[in-house]
């Protein structure tokens, strides 16, 4: 599977784009969510899979439902 079609990479790009539209740094977002900045960085680059709880937490920060983050 290429990195262009990998769901973790696609999700990470979507999260990074939404974060940047909010004007938040990774540090600011991680502080808001109570998660480690390095974890957020790995999610945004698609290096790790995000668990459902964290997916819901991230979505909530953007005023979205978890499933809406997966609409690519």
What would the pLDDT profile of 36-70 be if each residue is shown by its tens digit? 999 999 999 999 999 999 999 999 999 999 999 99
> What is the pLDDT at residue 5?
76
Residue pair 26/37 in contact (Cβ under 8 Å)? The answer is yes
The reply to whether the predicted model has a pTM over 0.75 is: yes
Task: Say how far apart CA 46 and CA 26 lie, in whole Å.
Answer: 15
CATH number of 7-69: 1.10.260.40
Any idea where the domains of the chain sit in the sequence? 7-69
Could you give phi then psi for residue 11, rounded to 5 degrees?
-65, -45
């Amino acid at each position: 599977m290429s990195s262009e079609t990998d769901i973790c990479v696609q999700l990470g790009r979507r999260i990074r784009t939404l974060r940047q539209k909010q004007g938040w740094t990774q540090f600011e977002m991680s502080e808001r969510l109570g998660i480690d900045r390095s974890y957020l960085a790995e999610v945004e680059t698609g290096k790790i899979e995000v668990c459902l709880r964290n997916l819901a937490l991230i979505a909530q920060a953007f005023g979205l439902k978890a499933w809406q983050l997966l609409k690519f």
